[in-house]
Structure 1
């Protein structure tokens, strides 16, 4: 996916849409007392990372498995890391706690394996949200076969997509099947517009306004099947984020890949809710590779101006972006790793 910038028509196809002024239909997002975000799957796992205030790293010695070459016959592999993303999100209002799953990783058993090794019971998940339809965020649904579990998606999540770099045979990307998911018992809910879940305390953004001049989406090689054939799919219009308002602290935003652009996402969430403070931004920022690296600098500048208290760039963010963010926002930046829990509580 990391190709050179496209032609003028390709760039025009992903040009930003104006979104000036306050939201026409503002979202009344109920504040919460606490939100915890546990990264079940990410591209990396570092067993030596230390916990700190509000950031809980898993203890060593997770997941004892058979290993006959050791004297004890067992070893402890830790947690899985894979090119995918999944987060368990728990929100607490007073004495009531609700649990959602945001994305499910790429492999059928990676997310559930890590949850088991962390001692987390996915049986208390009340709903699943998919950030978009790419297979590195949806593959773990196979491990969640439970009748009637709500699954919130954008209608374009079923899009057939492929990678077609010049001079290379196209590579079809695995596509979700709505029929198969319904047969497995998922209650599929398609929403193009914002959704409020958990008694109004969790916002799913729906389609995101593209307002920056530099976050222009995917390269021309990323294509989607249309009625007239294959065409560039720069916007990945099904890209959406999860937003929680922590009382007195600001917005906590969880992204999957951030195909809409993390600055667009943050500004869109703030505009929708009327909350003018970004407290935390966690997930994939999609700044990896030569096609996206030119927008690292303006992205870092914009996020620096928003001044979040916590910034966790994982999955598809790339090492160059992480280095730049760590340099610009050293007090906010935290390295991502599978199994980490971020705990954000209401201001006193």
Structure 2
């Protein structure tokens, strides 16, 4: 959709289509015994949220900072919340002395320092992460790369991205000057020491037990993508970019439970993403859905009822909508899935075990 076509191919690709039966190229996703998803950056930080078996909350205070207005010259600090998303996904395979643990970073937040600040306050050592996956090229998911690069120093780290993550985009709202969004630079990332792995197709990481979906099949009739104000540069003009074709999710199979799906913004549509993951892997159950579902604002609120209905039918054990989900969708999901819905917050670790 980011290139001008005259034969209707782009339009045809945007139309929802049937995707029945097993995938042509099924993915053998190795099951894991435990997955931990730690939200390093989200739009919300609530220090009063109670923990539970599935959700370990950060302490009320996670350190101190200089503050001369207090006796002793210091005050307590919490965690950073901003309009962005970053998650540390750690998988464990095996038990006891034979177990292995691997961590990957999924997105990096909006600002250069928020993710690093929160990781430090939580005691998370990002230098031990094995790689980075970007859900898509929007700047509120890639801004923290600068801070990560500083922390890594000379160490090289692989980064999985879709080739269209470098697309120039802007918001052209009627009655206002167009606002061009910050665009990722592959040359700059390579210069910072990241080993770029560009793939449109699904990718298996961590000895075959972490799946990056690649491009997601758009099969529902109601998840139609971004409104006309979201545009991409084709090389000669700005055109409506509804699909955000670089949108991809991260998937883990918890042994005996089902799939854990982590989304960045969910531009491909939450239901499209989940169905795509189930079909690719042949796993029949969705165990958990975490991350941004992009259901906030007037353009997306009409999509809430069919999305909630479809997710209710899938009956996940855990749903943690975050980032761009929006408060109306949060309320609807909490009402429809009261046992599964959990409020997200920067600093929360969600634990899912076989």
Q: TM-score range by the shorter chain?
A: over 0.9
1:190 to 186, 192, 198: 198
Q: CA deviation at 1:11?
A: 9.1
Residue correspondences, number:
337
Query: Which residue is 2:141 aligned to?
Result: 137
The answer as to 2:315 corresponding to 1:310 is: no
Q: Any idea what SS the aligned residue of 1:174 has?
A: coil
Query: Aligned partners of 2:212, 2:12: CA distance in 1, in Å?
Result: 27
Query: Which residue is 2:93 aligned to?
Result: 93
Query: Aligned partners of 1:32, 1:136: CA distance in 2, in Å?
Result: 30
Q: For residues 33-85 of structure 1, what are the alpha-carbon distances to aligned partners after superposition, in whole Å with 9 as ceiling and x for unaligned?
A: 00000000000000000100111001122131111111121111200000000
Query: Aligned partners of 2:349, 2:44: CA distance in 1, in Å?
Result: 14
Query: Which residue is 1:333 aligned to?
Result: 341
Q: CA deviation at 1:241?
A: 0.1
Q: Is 1:259–1:285's contact at 8 Å kept on the other side of the alignment?
A: yes
Query: Aligned partners of 1:245, 1:315: CA distance in 2, in Å?
Result: 23
Aligned pairs for 1:140-179 within 5 A: 140-145=144-149, 146=152, 147-179=155-187
Q: Any idea what SS the aligned residue of 1:139 has?
A: coil
Query: Which residue is 1:298 aligned to?
Result: 306
Q: CA deviation at 1:16?
A: 1.4
2:257 to 240, 249, 254: 249
Query: Aligned partners of 2:240, 2:14: CA distance in 1, in Å?
Result: 10
Query: Aligned partners of 2:352, 2:11: CA distance in 1, in Å?
Result: 38
Query: Aligned partners of 1:239, 1:76: CA distance in 2, in Å?
Result: 38
1:279 to 271, 280, 287: 287
Q: CA deviation at 1:306?
A: 0.2
Q: Is 1:225–1:231's contact at 8 Å kept on the other side of the alignment?
A: yes
Gapped regions of structure 2 (runs ≥ 5): 1-9
Query: Which residue is 2:70 aligned to?
Result: 70
TM-score, reference length from structure 1: 0.95
Runs of 4+ aligned residues of structure 1 deviating over 3 Å after TM superposition are: 10-14
Query: Which residue is 1:209 aligned to?
Result: 217
Q: CA deviation at 1:148?
A: 1.8
TM-score, reference length from structure 2: 0.94
Q: Any idea what SS the aligned residue of 1:40 has?
A: strand
Query: Which residue is 1:199 aligned to?
Result: 207
Q: For residues 175-206 of structure 1, what are the alpha-carbon distances to aligned partners after superposition, in whole Å with 9 as ceiling and x for unaligned?
A: 11100110110001100000000000000000
Query: Aligned partners of 1:123, 1:227: CA distance in 2, in Å?
Result: 38
Q: Flag the 1:239–1:279 CA change in 2: closer, same or farther, 3 A.
A: same
Q: Any idea what SS the aligned residue of 2:176 has?
A: coil
Q: CA deviation at 1:17?
A: 3.1
Q: Any idea what SS the aligned residue of 1:302 has?
A: helix
Q: Flag the 1:284–1:54 CA change in 2: closer, same or farther, 3 A.
A: same
1:119 to 117, 123, 128: 123
Query: Aligned partners of 1:142, 1:92: CA distance in 2, in Å?
Result: 28
The answer as to 2:110 corresponding to 1:102 is: no
Q: CA deviation at 1:15?
A: 2.5
Considering only aligned residues, what root-mean-square deviation do their CA atoms show, in Å? 1.2
Gapped regions of structure 1 (runs ≥ 5): 1-9
